[in-house]
A and B are shown apart, each in its own frame.
Chain A
Amino acid sequence: MRINLQNVEHKYQVNTPFERAALTDVTIDIPSGTYLAVIGHTGSGKSTLLQHLNGLLQPTKGYIQVGEQRITAGKKEKNLKAIRKRVGIVFQFPEHQLFEETVLKDICFGPMNFGVSEEEAIRLAKESITKVGLGEEILEKSPFDLSGGQMRRVAIAGVLAMQPEVLVLDEPTAGLDPRGRKEIMDLFYSIHKDSGISTILVTHSMEDAARYADEIVVMHKGSVFERGKPRDIFSRSAELAELGLDVPNTVKVQLMLERSTGLKFGRICLSLDELTSEIAASMKRGDLS
């Protein structure tokens, strides 16, 4: 499903002394099946942007086209529920949204709100709990008896069970250990590939943005600073540094090597494999020893 934001502005607390624009004139097109990463400094408006994608926030100017539906500034959209069924959001620290007595009930909550029958919801719950790497025996436990990492996975399963066509992720791995982080990011990537859904990921990990995303949007002070393929975005490390943003570690190593040896690699290395093969190639040519 295609999502298109046109000249979106969002002001919080309109008509109070606290009024402030969190988004100013944002235009982004997200074709169906894209994996888009959104990066930007804290407070640059990433979370605000995400909440427009399923109508949790309304723009104060401009519009958002979600499939056939359009959310326009100043107009009350009646069928937000239909949009929310199709666009699932995993919030930051999603474990805070757990509330049911059992994990099973909590995962079924979303699908059943959207009119799925109970048997079907249970089937979906079993399917998604396996997807997030937990065993079915956990379904009968109370979500509050689980470890932090398990709670996170249960909450994610609750969103996956809604079978969204667009999956929106707001720093889904914040506060997890490195292994859990990689497992969850790999999980989202395989869901993205297997079911062809669009994925929109807000992240502070430049490695994740480089590894998984087809395209990257850089947000700065409420507007789109630039958009491009990861390789193009991360070739501008100086620009990013001015916004307080990093580049992936492999790029840092590459830049250090290039500076100290005076060499120039053929491309920006986004992964360890790319970096090692570039180094190996230079050594073969005898430029590096």
Chain B
Amino acid sequence: MMDKLIFGRYVPADSAIHKMDPRSKLIMVFLFVFVIFLANNVVSYALVAVFTLAIVKLSKVPARFLINGLKPVLILILFTFLLHLFFTKEGELLYKWNVIEIYSGGLRQGIFISLRFAFLIVITSILTLTTTPISLTDGLETLFNPLKKWKLPVHELALMMSISLRFIPTLLEETDKIMKAQAARGTEFSSGPVTSRMKAVVPLLIPLFVSSFKRAEELAVAMESRGYRGGEGRTKFRLLRWERKDTYLVLAICILGILLIVFRT
């Protein structure tokens, strides 16, 4: 039942991107989000496309898998496309039927915005697909460390994040199990009238809440009994190592940014 959920999941593989420091990947994605807004013509979009495809290729994540990951957001992309198609009134009139008018500017804008959306999703998916949740939070914690000066509880936030990430699969598994147990007792989750399907949520959610609270309590006890007292003076088991390829990745995104500034109109 949960088979389609791909976003936010790690796919182990032996690739250059997998082996990179999470910090370089985070910086790359962070910069990419800004850089992509520089693209505004065919050449600049082509450059972004090349960059994205190169990253996908290097990550060795099967393309089929990324396409599956895009499917849930396809509606959103389509909606933005149509919005721009119908409501941008620039360039020459291409088509007219009743109140519907399509201009060349609208078509162009629609395609560009949809592409931007798709590239963003692919690049962020690559980040989560090639980085384990643990190293992702490690990376975030290190990057945000300077903010401790302003009393931002960086360590606690990172811990919260890694615990949540850690328990997402567990929660999904649990959901699947309870859904099956209740379905075996005659609950209909995916057929029957809407009202009864809405009622079916209760026998699912209550057991989920109960077990989540229980698990949270057990985790707290387990952490305290092993001497956890927050981040003060805590050393790390996994050390992050910045290598030459990490520098290259950050350089690549910077170069992409410069090229876009040069080629945009």
Residues B3 and A51 in contact, CB atoms below 8 Å apart: no
Residues A113 and B3 in contact, CB atoms below 8 Å apart: no
B180 within 8 A of A: yes
Measured between beta carbons, the chain A residues less than 8 angstroms from B65 are 16-17
Residues A14 and B180 in contact, CB atoms below 8 Å apart: no
Of B24-32, B109-117, B206-214, the stretch lying at the interface with chain A is B206-214
Residues A51 and B180 in contact, CB atoms below 8 Å apart: yes
A84 within 8 A of B: yes
Measured between beta carbons, the chain A residues less than 8 angstroms from B62 are 17
A204 within 8 A of B: no
B259 within 8 A of A: no
Give A54 to B188 CA distance when docked, in angstroms.
Answer: 14
Measured between beta carbons, the chain A residues less than 8 angstroms from B184 are 54, 56, 84, 88-89, 91, 159
B60 to chain A, nearest CB (A): 10
Residues A113 and B186 in contact, CB atoms below 8 Å apart: yes
Give A114 to B192 CA distance when docked, in angstroms.
Answer: 13
A261 within 8 A of B: no
Residues A97 and B11 in contact, CB atoms below 8 Å apart: no
Known contacts A12-B3, A16-B3, A17-B65; decide if A99 and B185 are in contact (CB<8 Å). Answer: no
Give A96 to B3 CA distance when docked, in angstroms.
Answer: 22
Known contacts A85-B186, A158-B185, A159-B185; decide if A98 and B68 are in contact (CB<8 Å). Answer: no
B224 to chain A, nearest CB (A): 23
Give A54 to B187 CA distance when docked, in angstroms.
Answer: 13
Interface residues of A in 64-99 (CB under 8 A from B): 81, 84-85, 88-89, 91, 94, 96-99
Residues A96 and B186 in contact, CB atoms below 8 Å apart: no
Give A95 to B180 CA distance when docked, in angstroms.
Answer: 14
B183 within 8 A of A: yes
Residues B68 and A97 in contact, CB atoms below 8 Å apart: no
Give A94 to B207 CA distance when docked, in angstroms.
Answer: 11
Residues A96 and B202 in contact, CB atoms below 8 Å apart: no
Interface size class, chain B: 20 to 34
Contact with A96, one of B11, B68, B178, B185 (Cβ below 8 angstroms): B178
Measured between beta carbons, the chain B residues less than 8 angstroms from A56 are 180, 183-184
B181 within 8 A of A: yes
B236 within 8 A of A: no
Give A15 to B64 CA distance when docked, in angstroms.
Answer: 8
Give A110 to B6 CA distance when docked, in angstroms.
Answer: 33
Q: Mark B166-195, 1 if CB is under 8 A from A, else 0.
A: 000000001001101111111110000000
Residues B180 and A96 in contact, CB atoms below 8 Å apart: no
Give A94 to B177 CA distance when docked, in angstroms.
Answer: 10
Residues B3 and A109 in contact, CB atoms below 8 Å apart: no
Q: Mark B1-24, 1 if CB is under 8 A from A, else 0.
A: 001001000010000000000000
Known contacts A91-B180, A99-B202; decide if A81 and B210 are in contact (CB<8 Å). Answer: no
Measured between beta carbons, the chain B residues less than 8 angstroms from A16 are 3, 6, 65, 68
Residues B177 and A96 in contact, CB atoms below 8 Å apart: yes
A13 within 8 A of B: yes
Q: Mark A245-276, 1 if CB is under 8 A from B, else 0.
A: 00000000000000000000000000000000
Residues A91 and B3 in contact, CB atoms below 8 Å apart: no
Q: Mark B61-82, 1 if CB is under 8 A from A, else 0.
A: 0101100100000000000000
Residues B3 and A97 in contact, CB atoms below 8 Å apart: no
A162 within 8 A of B: yes
Residues A14 and B185 in contact, CB atoms below 8 Å apart: no
Contact with B188, one of A81, A89, A97 (Cβ below 8 angstroms): A81
Measured between beta carbons, the chain B residues less than 8 angstroms from A159 are 184-185
Residues A81 and B3 in contact, CB atoms below 8 Å apart: no
B203 within 8 A of A: yes
Known contacts A15-B64, A16-B68, A51-B180; decide if A97 and B185 are in contact (CB<8 Å). Answer: yes
A100 to chain B, nearest CB (A): 8
Known contacts A12-B3, A99-B202; decide if A110 and B207 are in contact (CB<8 Å). Answer: no
Give A17 to B15 CA distance when docked, in angstroms.
Answer: 15
Give A97 to B175 CA distance when docked, in angstroms.
Answer: 11
Most buried by A among B6, B68, B184, B187: B184
Known contacts A15-B68, A16-B68; decide if A109 and B207 are in contact (CB<8 Å). Answer: no
Closest 6 CB pairs of A and B: A113-B186, A99-B206, A110-B185, A97-B181, A89-B184, A99-B203
A-B contact pairs, 9 of them (CB 8 A): A12-B3, A17-B62, A91-B180, A97-B182, A97-B203, A97-B207, A98-B207, A99-B202, A114-B186
If A14-B3, A54-B184, A96-B177 are given as contacts, then 10 extra A-B residue pairs at C-beta distance below 8 Å, sorted by A number, are: A13-B3, A15-B68, A16-B65, A17-B11, A56-B184, A91-B180, A97-B182, A97-B203, A109-B203, A110-B186
